[in-house]
Chains A and B, each alone.
Chain A
Amino acid sequence: MSFFDAFSLLREPLLASALAAVLLGYLGIFVVLRRIAFVSAALSQVSGLGVALAFYVGSFLGIDPHGESVPLYASPVVYALVLACLGSVLLGSPSRARRVNPESVVALFYLAASASVVLVLASPRIVQEAHEVGELLFGNAVAVREEHLVELAITGAAVLALHAVLFKDFLFVSFDHESARSMGYPVARLDVLLHLSLGVAVAVSTRAIGTLPVFAFLVLPAGAALLWAQRMRVVIALAVTISLLAAVFGFYLSFVYSLPTGPTMAALCALAWLPGLRLLRGHHS
């Protein structure tokens, strides 16, 4: 069966990948420039833990969280959202404990979430679903339902609307935190809001396309775009375009060559750095 013959089956996952790519490609500008790439990695793992927990809880309640009409208390996206929002607020709040290195806190979240996902999936209660959840988390699942697509579209629109309204404010506090604080800007509240928007986007995208492509879309396209462009608008346009092309072509290639979808998209995002590596070397020479 050719890709175009199968298009009616692939429409939802392809659209979900494209929507997530646009949303995360844009947010990646803040992730890369604020140097919080591993915050986004930690958030995607925390969201993944939420998805795994939903299956674990579902096993007690006799509910298949991957099925249709899942109640909210067993919905993977709700679990992912709650944990990601909690993680965003905790990672976005300034630490008052001066002895704790912020990077160590990010590492704690990342490692604790990653280990917990493996431990939850190793539970005998979800042996049947473990493979399916693992596929979902690593972005190999192509079973995206229309309802997941709607969730992603609504969340994406809300996050992008928030950023359209507060773009200048997020820009100021991200570019020069200390000056913004000194000049009376509500930096802490804006930081939490920015992290929260990131957490929500990561949670809903993780449920739809998996942790690996989510992390890749957040970091690689923005990094590649910054090698090429000098203007913020151009960098944003370039990052979103790279993400979108990686999602669509990654999806196509994974179907045609029977490759895992998430890693194919991530590999294409990484390829976007190749033309710019020469520039990177030039900057350092």
Chain B
Amino acid sequence: MIIALDRVEIGYDRPLLPPISLSISPGERWGLLGPNGSGKSTLLRTILGLLPPVSGKVLHPLGRRPRVGYVPQSHRADPAWPLSAHEVVLMGRYPALGIARRPGSADHEAVRAQLQAVGLAGQDKKPFRALSGGQRQRALVARALVAEPELLVLDEPTSEMDPAAEHALLHLVLELAAKRETAVLFVTHQISAAAGFAHTLALINSPAHLVQIGPAQELLTSENLSRLYGRTVEIKREGARALVWIASDGKEAP
């Protein structure tokens, strides 16, 4: 086990959700699914130790905070900075290096290898700002993975992507994370992305004071999703694919 929450209530001053208990183990694929403003980011910040819980405990079974790789939404990485793709990915090594220590040749070699792994071989000198949106997001995945994380966090990384680019990115992340048995925590408000990605889901909606945690196959039902989003949602599975219909307010799905 990498990290666990024991009856944790999340929030700033008062609890946003009922107490949450969960544990994340190596190789697991977790999804945090909920509408905008549902408390996903607050739960994530609590899991990462950036926000103290209102009550309950965040447990670190390894005896320390796990090594975290973090992939933000692409707009968080400001393209105004005059940095190369290599320099951006190299930042993933900094937490392990520590303050005031300079990266060595092994760090630069790891960056080159990771850029190759995400399909950006030969682009390491290219300015980060000159990469396409999809390439930038792959560089940010490389930065997270070059940290050799025990927990890889994807914080709505595909929210500005088209479905094909989203599928390609998530497929790449899963393939690379599986090689190291890295646990993955994926935060999203997109049902299709969560359905195709997560083994285990936490459905959360703070205004409705709703938390449901369990296997994705069991939780992704029309009833649960309709309750989560406050409108009629239908989901049908065809093998690995999930088809989702969301009805207009007050209307039945077709």
Residues of B within 8 A of A231 (CB): 82, 84, 127
Please tell me if the beta carbons of A226 and B76 are within 8 angstroms of each other in the complex: no
Chain A residue, CB-CB nearest to B149: A183
Docked CA distance A236–B153 (Å): 33
Q: How far is the CA of A169 from the CA of B101 in the complex (A)?
A: 9
- B78 near A183 with CB under 8 A, answer no
Question: Which one of B92-100, B170-178, B202-210 contacts A?
Answer: B92-100
B166 within 8 A of A: no
State in angstroms the CA–CA spacing of A253 and B69 once bound together: 54
A183 adjacent to B82 (CB under 8 Å): no
- B82/A182 in contact, CB under 8 A: no
Give the contact-size bracket for chain A: 20 to 34
- The residue in B12, B84, B94, B102 that gathers the most chain A C-beta atoms within 10 A of its C-beta is B94
Contact check, B95 vs A183: say whether CB atoms are below 8 A apart.
Answer: yes
- Give residues of chain A (152-180) contacting chain B, Cβ–Cβ below 8 Å: 165-166, 168-169, 171-172, 175-176, 178-180
- Complex Cα distance, B76 from A168, in Å, reads 18
Q: Is B50's beta carbon under 8 Å from chain A?
A: yes
Chain A residues in 8 Å Cβ range of B72: 176, 178-179, 182
Q: Are B77 and A176 in contact (CB under 8 A)?
A: yes
Question: Chain B contacts of A180 at CB under 8 A?
Answer: 91, 94
Of A33, A176, A190, the residue contacting B91 (CB under 8 A) is A176
Q: Does A33 contact B81, Cβ atoms closer than 8 Å?
A: yes
- Find out whether the CB atom of B94 lies under 8 angstroms from the CB atom of A169: yes
Q: Is A101 an interface residue (CB 8 A)?
A: no
User: A5-44 vs B: 1/0 string, CB under 8 Å?
Assistant: 0000000000000000000000000000100000000000
Docked complex Cα distance between A181 and B143 (Å)? 14
Of chain A, the residue at the smallest CB distance from B64 is: A184
Residue from B50, B77, B82 within 8 A of A226 (CB atoms): B82
Whole-angstrom CA separation of A131 from B65 in the bound complex: 58
Cα(A226)–Cα(B82), bound, Å: 8
Q: How many residue pairs at the A-B interface have CB separations less than 8 Å?
A: 81
Check if B103 is an interface residue, CB within 8 A of chain A.
yes
Residue A230 CB within 8 A of the other chain: yes
**Is there a chain A Cβ closer than 8 Å to B80's Cβ?**
yes
| Complex: chain A residue closest to B100, CB-CB | A165
In the complex, which residues 91-133 of chain B have their Cβ closer than 8 Å to any Cβ of chain A?
91-92, 94-95, 99-100, 102-103, 127, 129-130
* Contact call A182/B50, Cβ cutoff below 8 A: yes
Q: List 27 A-B contacts (CB under 8 A).
A: A33-B78, A165-B100, A166-B100, A169-B94, A169-B100, A172-B94, A175-B78, A175-B81, A176-B72, A176-B78, A178-B155, A179-B76, A179-B91, A180-B91, A182-B50, A182-B153, A183-B68, A183-B70, A183-B92, A226-B80, A230-B82, A230-B127, A231-B127, A232-B81, A232-B83, A232-B87, A235-B82
Task: List residues of chain A with CB under 8 Å of any chain B CB.
Answer: 33, 98, 165-166, 168-169, 171-172, 175-176, 178-186, 190, 226, 229-232, 234-235
Those 4 A-B pairs whose CB atoms lie nearest each other, nearest first: A182-B70, A183-B95, A230-B127, A179-B70
